[in-house]
Amino acid sequence: MPNHIECCSKPILDYVIREIPKCVVNIMGQYRAQYKAYNYKEINRHPTSEEMKEVKSYAEKLGILFKPVS
């Protein structure tokens, strides 16, 4: 989700590696603003390539098995 790397994406990846370390994770850039999300500038867009790169790099750093999905 755009603008939610530090508060959401990274903590979720921390949880995955701690609790279910052999889980394969899909890291997806397919987020679309729906319904009332259009009213919020910070989430009314797709994740940027920089945001996706940061999340993928963090997953790699943690040793999480992931499959990028476009």
Residue ranges of domains in the chain: 5-69
What's 64's DSSP letter? -
The answer to whether 45 and 2 are in contact (CB under 8 A) is yes
Residue 69: strand, helix, or coil: strand
Using DSSP's 3-state secondary structure scheme, residue 24 falls into: strand
Do 12 and 55 meet the contact criterion of CB atoms below 8 Å apart? Answer: no
Using CA atoms in the order 38, 31, 14, 56, what is the torsion angle rounded to 10 degrees? -130
Q: Tens digit of pLDDT for each residue in 21-66?
A: 999 999 988 988 899 988 999 999 999 999 999 999 999 999 999 8
The pLDDT assigned to 3 comes to: 92
Question: pLDDT confidence of 68, banded at 50, 70, 90?
Answer: low
